[in-house]
Amino acid sequence: MKIHLHKAVLASAVLALTCGASMAQDAVLNIYSARHYPTDEALYANFTKATGIKLNRVDSDDAGILARLKAEGTASPADVILLVDASRLWRGEIDGLFQPVRSPVLDQAIPQQLRGKADPEGKTPWFGFSTRARVIVYDKLKVQKADVATYESLADPKNKGRICIRSGSHPYNLSLFGSVMEHLGPAKTEEWLRGLVANLARSPKGGDTDQIKGVASGECSIAVTNTYYLARIMRSSAPEDKAIMDRVGVVFPNQSSWGTHVNIAGGAVARHAKNPANAVKFLEYLASPQAQDHFANGNNEWPVAKGVSIANPALQAMTGGSFKSETLPIATVGMNQVKVQQMLDRVGFK
């Protein structure tokens, strides 16, 4: 039996398709991003190519983005918020800057400990899309690997005068210290921080790459860094970077206890998003195998979506393929930041 479409019906179908294509072409998404990685340009371009949704991006740091959202209020044009630290994601949630969403795609892909706490309706305020392990690097000529096997060892008197680290108040360190507090309790954590300060080779300064270079140059013997900074050096063909890796070893701390601390880069839908459906679509894209592979190979981060494998040679070389990471809820670590900052002030950790 043949089916004949009435001309008017056919015309309506064609018109609907044309309008749909036009709407997709005109669709936009406004992103406030703390991700300042040139390799992410391909990530954004691939989303636009796949969906037809144009991305407008404002770049700033985590604190600047949260301050801007507060100042803009309901007039904010932001649809998607991308931040690179658990404590700042938690702060944005507490300050009511995110719009909780329900997405079966994200619930299925992202492990529960790497998401914000769902509300009674099952809506989640934010999701982690990649992780960075906070590891210890050491001078292979001066330090035994066993001497830096744990975070606790950073405060051991045997490591006095050996340690380089960035500011204690930097979000990466606040999250690490918040994690340690969850494991050791407040009193022991403050004692540990006091010992860490006593073991510094110099006052805290610079970024994570500067700490790695400090070990390689002999300025200090031990440092703390996020893994993606180290992976960049490992993947470089520059002679000076090869020389750094000849001198520096890496430890994923606490493999025999609670596991290595990991921080996250994550995203949320802005509270006053004008394009919430497209915002959710973008977050779901970040959990896709294509985007997760980009996080791993483009910016040397650990993908978080279930079932995604890692092909990055630097990440593979660091761990031999896997490592034990802590399983604390990231939101809990963020909640500890206020108490940790007070400890830092008391022990003189600048």
d(CA 109, CA 287): 7
How far lies 142's CA from each of 86, 138, 166, 319, in Å?
34, 8, 21, 22
The number of helix segments (H) and strand segments (E) in the chain equals 15, 9
- Mean pLDDT (whole number) for 300-323: 86
% of the chain with per-residue pLDDT over 90: 81
Rounded to the nearest integer, the mean pLDDT of the chain is 90
pLDDT at 20 > cutoff 60: no
d(CA 150, CA 135): 10
Virtual torsion, Cα 67, 93, 326, 182, nearest 10 deg: 90
Of the ranges 75-84, 146-155, 291-300, which one carries the lowest mean pLDDT score? 291-300
d(CA 96, CA 125): 9
Say which residue, 4 or 152, is predicted with more confidence.
152
CB atoms inside a 10 Å sphere around CB 272: 17
Contacts of 3 (CB under 8 A, 6+ apart): none
Residue among 260, 254, 297, 268 at smallest CA distance from 110: 268
pTM comes to: 0.86
* Residue-level pLDDT at 7: 31
Of the ranges 61-75, 133-147, 229-243, 305-319, which one carries the lowest mean pLDDT score? 305-319
Q: What is the DSSP string of 261-290?
A: -EEEEEEEEBTT-S-HHHHHHHHHHHTSHH
Per-residue pLDDT band for 26 (boundaries 50, 70, 90) equals low
Q: Domains in the chain, start-ordered, CATH in brackets?
A: 7-130+264-317 (3.40.190.10), 131-261+323-347 (3.40.190.10)
The answer to whether the beta carbons of residues 265 and 171 sit under 8 Å apart is no
* Residue-level pLDDT at 8: 34
pLDDT at 15 > cutoff 70: no
* Residue-level pLDDT at 310: 76
d(CA 343, CA 345): 5
* Residue-level pLDDT at 32: 98
Q: Mind listing the pLDDT tens digit for each residue in 201-254?
A: 999 999 999 999 999 999 999 999 999 999 999 999 999 999 999 999 999 999
d(CA 101, CA 319): 35
Structure tokens at 138: 């050491």
d(CA 168, CA 337): 11
Rounded to an integer, what is the distance from CA 343 to the centroid of its chain? 24
Of the ranges 43-52, 68-77, 294-303, 337-346, which one carries the lowest mean pLDDT score? 294-303
Q: What is the DSSP letter of 118?
A: P
Of the ranges 90-99, 136-145, 301-310, which one carries the lowest mean pLDDT score? 301-310
pLDDT at 160 > cutoff 50: yes
How far lies 60's CA from each of 36, 189, 201, in Å?
8, 32, 32
Per-residue pLDDT band for 311 (boundaries 50, 70, 90) equals confident
pLDDT at 61 > cutoff 90: yes
- Mean pLDDT (whole number) for 11-25: 36
pLDDT at 2 > cutoff 90: no
